[in-house]
Chains A and B, each alone.
Chain A
Amino acid sequence: MKRTAGALLLLLAAFGLAAKMLQVQVLRANLLAKPDFLSAGVLAVKKGDRLELLETHGSWYRVRGAGSVMGYVHQTAVSEARASLGTIAPGRKGASAEELALAAKGFNEGNEKKLRGSKGYNFADLEWVMDWNPAAAEVARFIRQGRLQ
């Protein structure tokens, strides 16, 4: 009986001590060497990547990413990852609740495709606008040259 209670306690402790995981919620972001956008990037991450939360520094998180690379990410780039138990629990089929909610609202890529070519929408020029993505290093240089912060 003692062994059973011990095993149960061990199991509960394991759940309590489980690392808190975050998930990247933006298309692209960088883990940075310091909690400042002006610092060097140490790892490029993308939507859906999972990061282990190590510490909180104001509005920044210190995290561990792929290859155990550690760095800082701004809290607006990530959300709390859902517990992975759901993914291994039996009986899960098809889209997640989030995927269904997204589809239900209709603000998605599928409906954008239906709009393409419609009168009153100019997606060709939009792509020209969306292609402008200055690299973080270029923005940092621009800030320094302009004596900004």
Chain B
Amino acid sequence: MKRLLPIALCVLLFSWKPPVSLSKLSKAKKGLDLVSGAAHKITEEEEYFIGRAVAARILAEYPLWKSREATRYLNLVGRTLAWRSQRPEIYGGYHFAVLDTPEANAFSAPGGIVFLTRGIVAMTANEDELAAVLAHEIQHVVAKDPLKAIKSQRLKALGTFAADEAMGSGGRVMGVFQESVLDISGTLLQKGYSRGQEKRADLGALELLAAAGYDPGALLSMLEKVKAGEKKKVRAFSAHPSASKRIAYVASGVDRGAGGRNGSARTARFERALSRR
């Protein structure tokens, strides 16, 4: 009998189920998680799928520049930076592409899909400046800023629809999915992020550039070009704060001695890849 006791204990332990009250608590917590709707509650996989939909929407607005050489090069510069970021591994990996429009702009969809326009690419004079634009966008992905553009009411609504969806009726949930995509694409293309989010992305970009070995001063030189464009009323970074304000804090954050050495090693490949800008 004594020998059987440990076995019985094992069986009891493995077959134990939480009492009903605990199970109810767990369900209530799940409901609260959904209702709270904070961006950090969205999983990597969810971020990936909403990012794909946002990117598909952007690609319906702007034609894609299908230059294989330029896109390959852009992805190599982007991955170089992403590896040194706080979020180097992301569900579907980072992807970078160029939109075929003279407007100077850049934006990142959730999940690491980053777009630059031919207009902004044409403004870059070297790989370090191109990297500066990409580093700013990667920092938005790291901070999950695109997800924060989803209105909290959407995710609150999802909390109330959760039971329906679990039962298989997803019409209302599909509506929320589409509305969330519109929230994000509206912020990326028109409304823009808050000044605080932009400042954090700029300052984070300086650190990222230095960590990868690029010249952090390249961000400053790009902002000076944007500022010059603003004076000429060129449509550039329409969803970003004015370049003058950004230059002020970026200039104070630039460590002139950090990174950027051996820039000549990168010049030839920059010219070769983007010769048809």
Contacts and interface: CB of A to CB of B under 8 A. Distances in A.
A77 interface: yes
B38 interface: no
Contacts of B162: 100-101, 104
A128 B193 CA distance: 28
A149 B72 contact: no
B241 interface: no
Contacts of A1: 2
B76 interface: yes
B59 A29 contact: no
A142 to B, nearest CB: 4
Interface residues of B, number: 75
Contact of A107 (B42, B89, B161, B269): B42
A128 B10 contact: no
A129 B80 contact: no
Interface in B197-221: 211-214
A105 B34 contact: yes
Contacts of A89: 14-17
Contacts, number: 191
A66 interface: no
Interface string B166-197: 10001001101110100000000000000000
Contacts of B113: 126, 129-130
B59 to A, nearest CB: 4
The A interface, classified by DSSP as helix, strand, loop or mixed, is: helix
Nearest to B13: A11
A135 B129 CA distance: 24
Contact of A77 (B71, B89, B155): B89
Interface string A121-149: 11101101110111000110011011111
A121 B57 contact: yes
Given A11-B6, A115-B56, A148-B213, 11 more contacts: A11-B9, A11-B10, A88-B14, A89-B16, A89-B17, A100-B166, A102-B45, A107-B46, A126-B52, A133-B93, A146-B266
14 contacts: A8-B9, A25-B91, A26-B91, A74-B88, A85-B14, A104-B158, A104-B166, A107-B46, A111-B49, A122-B57, A126-B113, A129-B55, A146-B265, A149-B213
Interface of B: 2-3, 5-6, 9-10, 13-17, 26, 30, 33-34, 42-47, 49-50, 52-53, 55-57, 59-60, 64, 66, 71-72, 75-77, 79-80, 83-84, 87-93, 95-97, 113, 127, 155, 158, 161-162, 165-166, 170, 173-174, 176-178, 180, 211-214, 261-262, 265-266, 269
